[in-house]
Structure 1
Amino acid sequence: MTTLEDPIEIGDVEVPNRLYRAPLLECAGTGPDAVETLIDDLEPAAESGVGLVCQGATIVRGDGGCAAPGMTRVHDPNFVARLSQLTDRIHAHGSRIFIQLEHGGLRSMETWHAEYRDEHPGLEQLAVSRPPRQLRLFDRLGFLEYDPHVLTTAEVYDLAADFGRSAAWAVDAGYDGVHLAGANMGIIQQFLSPFYNRRDDEFGGSPEARLEFLAVVHDEVRNRAGDVPLITKVPAETPAPPAPVVRRKLSLTDGVEIARRLERIGYDAVVPVQTSVVWDMSIVRGAYPERAWDNEALREKYDAAFGDSTRRRLVALANRIQSLQYDFESAWNETFCRRVRERVSIPVLAEGGVRERAEMDRLLGSSDGHDASSAVGATDDGPACDMVGMARPFYAEPRLGARLLEPDTGSMSEPRSEDGADARVASNPRVVCESCNNCTVPQVTGAPGICRTPSVLRKRGGLERAGAYERTDP
């Protein structure tokens, strides 16, 4: 019976337990303070006992490709070498750290960020193919702006080489593994998806050809970085808009087949993720972030990002509608993960809507020490995954691992503070994150990813006063 505290091997690397901090947007950039910002953001998770820390998406090229302001670029070996300060700090706590590599393609800021476009008038998006007609409509209506450069065959190989070079520099800087941003509408998903990929060369046409970019990236990483663990997200575009709007998309069955083929190619683990074909709330399901949109201090920055106040209101309206379509669902990737795990022998990592220890035990197929049968959607079908990750809850509780892992949590008794009493159950710790998304919207302005919801911060404060984040080493 597998528990959250059990070690696991990903490739040749042993991870001390099965809890991981999923990739988040750190907004650290690449300036003089970038490394310290990353240390401040990521070290608390390792300090709290989390087995694997995944640094958020980093961009493999020096121009373009950022999906949001403040993303870190890893195209410069001199900068990447400085990141050894970060990896040393993570390793000092016994944790492992993977770096996530990405390029935004059509999702990049040059598509949607008005101020950024004005400052970089000659910057084109990199595109797998000509943008789909649905997206061209948004261009004609003025909501987005597409001036894409469709990659030639030779340029696709060059882009894959950029992923390989960045991976090699990261390994030299002490990273234990490489995590590819294969979903969330970045360029890798754009290669995989029939919605985006209409190519007629070796990188398009059939499902096998659409997977070829990931095969070439695999070879580039292996040739340049060696046998470092290599994992990727695997998309299924099932929550995409209704069929009359988007007919060509990746089904769950398609996603399972992609995972099977990635194992044959040589990938060491996969992260199945249900997502949309466009950038929406399918990846951050939860409440409409009313507090974030009503923040007067950020309104001018929102206007600069989206173009003007009218467009800001339209984006907020779309956000409100999407929050109804993508309401919070507990462990929303579970079905996809379970189907993939039945067909592959490499580790399957689950994330998305996991909010309590009992749910983690259930996903791992364990109920030892926790009442996993009480979790929403409990099933007797066996393990759905081999590791469990969370993202936004670490904005709310940077040292969350200390409350979830035994024996480092010390006493599992409920904190007796007014603010923290309802935030943790004695045998089933639950995160204080409310999935309100007030942490995500400000990031379009370059604001850091932090929790801004007073009720959540009060609960965290109560837990801090109760000593819930203090580790007691075994």
Structure 2
Amino acid sequence: MSALEDPLEIGGLRLPNRLYRAPLLECAGNGPDAVDTLIRELEPAAAAGAGLVCQGATIVREEGGCAAPGMTSVADPEFVARLARLTDAIHDHGGRIFVQLEHGGLRSMETWHAEYRREHPELRQLAVSRPPRVLRALDRLGFLSYDPEVLTTEAVYDLAADFGRAAASAVEAGYDGVHIAGANMGLVQQFLSPFYNRRDDEFADGVRFLSVVHDEIRARAGDVALMAKVPAETEAPPFVRRRLGADDAVEICARLDEIGYDAVVPVTASTFWDMSIVRGEFPERAWRDDRFRSGYAAAFGGRWRAAAVAAANRLEALAYDFEPGWNADLARRVRERVSIPVLLEGGIRDHEQIDRLVGEACDAVGMGRPFYAEPRLPARILDSEDAGALCENCNNCTVPQATGARGVCRTPAVLAERGELDRAGAYELPGDAETGAREE
């Protein structure tokens, strides 16, 4: 039996295996079809055998803080109660589901999305401190727009309480765990990062914020399984002098273990929202797709500014080439320091690779973008030691999300191969023939 098939406990919650769907953008929003959209996006992974499904980043406040179009807010308990249909669907397949909680802070759409800024002139970014100098320069040049509300000490406590309230509503709706989005340049990373955090109060130590969030969640949601993503800002450009190193990330994970978090997900990252989190090829096809050109212009403030963003994207693709299991070394170091499970994401693509990593560098592995290409991917990975994801790491699934488009694979060769595998029954589990469960 493969290590992948071994069960795993996170905070007393038993996962049936060690493969999970990592958080992705579902672009479901909060409209009347939001729950149906989330079920469509997330249920196939559980139906195909994933031990855990992580719903992508959800925002803990009703207004502001969305880092991309279509993100779902979980600030309204009445809306979250409707998500019981989603958690029931996951549980019906024997799976577990975590909700990822986030606030975008300086990365929010009110900073970078030109059309959104025009439509919501009243919104200000939440900021840990005054924006760093390089970001203020981009503001002066007109590429970004900053009018930040620097959080007072009292306001930080209020924000932590919002995380606790969202977690409590999620538990009431049947979620099995909470995942704090501590990377991808969101507000939690901004607390942790010396690049962003220049405070002079108790929250000058960014781990203090995660400690208060922990206490709020425990007070309001009980002993729900709780984990956090933790960044090492080792991929930041050389001109960024103040950053989190790998040693810092290991130490943060150790402190979260002491505080009472049940698992950690260490990742290498940048101080900016760039391709360090989605390594691979430059998404040429997505940038040239006529279906998205007007959306890019609306997001980035015009056709020429969109072209400038595309050019920067091309340069980033050279700097952040795809590397299998690119967070494995960091996860290995963390695993030597902590007593809680260490989850690994980033460049995990096949069963053989997973077997090498589980038990040595990590305790469970998550895949993200491959699920855009194969929503029922676990059925193949769990069934064969030779199986690997079809994903080509081309990133044509991700860039259109800036326009509000769904995260789906748009690579013809991959889609053709998926169709052949589907027709051959590769995405079926034992018993599927009786229930008629097939990939849509």
TM (norm. structure 1) is 0.90
Q: What CA deviation, in whole Å up to 9, does each residue of 1:328-381 have, x standing for no partner?
A: 00100000000000000100000100111100000014xxxxxxxxxxxxxxxx
Q: What CA deviation, in whole Å up to 9, does each residue of 1:188-223 have, x standing for no partner?
A: 00000000000000000xxxx221000000000000
2:236 corresponds to which of 233, 240, 265? 240
Matched AA of 2:29: G
* CA distance, structure 2, for counterparts of residue 23 and residue 301 of structure 1: 24
* CA distance, structure 1, for counterparts of residue 206 and residue 267 of structure 2: 18
Matched AA of 1:437: N
Q: Are the counterparts in 2 of residues 57 and 99 from structure 1 also a CA contact under 8 Å? A: yes
Ranges in structure 2 where 5+ consecutive residues have no aligned partner: 433-440
Indicate yes or no: 2:391 matched with 1:433: yes
Q: Are the counterparts in 2 of residues 2 and 364 from structure 1 also a CA contact under 8 Å? A: no
2:366 corresponds to which of 378, 389, 392? 389
| Residue 423 of structure 2: aligned partner | 465
* CA distance, structure 2, for counterparts of residue 104 and residue 154 of structure 1: 19
What SS does the aligned partner of 2:220 have?
helix
Q: What CA deviation, in whole Å up to 9, does each residue of 1:91-123 have, x standing for no partner?
A: 000000000000000000000000000001111
Cα shift at 1:141: 1.3
| Residue 379 of structure 2: aligned partner | 402
| Residue 122 of structure 1: aligned partner | 122
Matched AA of 1:385: C
Matched AA of 2:232: A
Alignment of 1:175-324 (within 5 A): 175-204=175-204, 209-242=205-238, 245-324=239-318
Cα shift at 1:431: 0.5
Ranges in structure 1 where 5+ consecutive residues have no aligned partner: 366-382, 413-426
* CA distance, structure 1, for counterparts of residue 157 and residue 220 of structure 2: 14
Alignment of 1:147-186 (within 5 A): 147-186=147-186
Q: What CA deviation, in whole Å up to 9, does each residue of 1:258-294 have, x standing for no partner?
A: 0000000000000001110001000000000000000
Cα shift at 1:83: 0.2
Q: What CA deviation, in whole Å up to 9, does each residue of 1:229-262 have, x standing for no partner?
A: 10000100001001xx100000000000000000
TM (norm. structure 2) is 0.97
Matched AA of 2:300: F
- The 3 A distance-change label for structure 1 pair 308 and 21 is same
Cα shift at 1:2: 6.8
Indicate yes or no: 2:402 matched with 1:444: yes
* CA distance, structure 1, for counterparts of residue 364 and residue 299 of structure 2: 37
| Residue 351 of structure 1: aligned partner | 345
Cα shift at 1:40: 0.2
Greater than 6 Å deviation, 4+ residue runs: none
* CA distance, structure 2, for counterparts of residue 359 and residue 30 of structure 1: 37
Q: Are the counterparts in 2 of residues 236 and 250 from structure 1 also a CA contact under 8 Å? A: yes
| Residue 80 of structure 1: aligned partner | 80
1:361 corresponds to which of 333, 355, 366? 355
What SS does the aligned partner of 1:318 have?
helix
* CA distance, structure 1, for counterparts of residue 425 and residue 346 of structure 2: 27
* CA distance, structure 2, for counterparts of residue 38 and residue 287 of structure 1: 28
What SS does the aligned partner of 1:189 have?
helix
Q: Would you say how many aligned residue pairs link Structure 1 and Structure 2?
A: 432
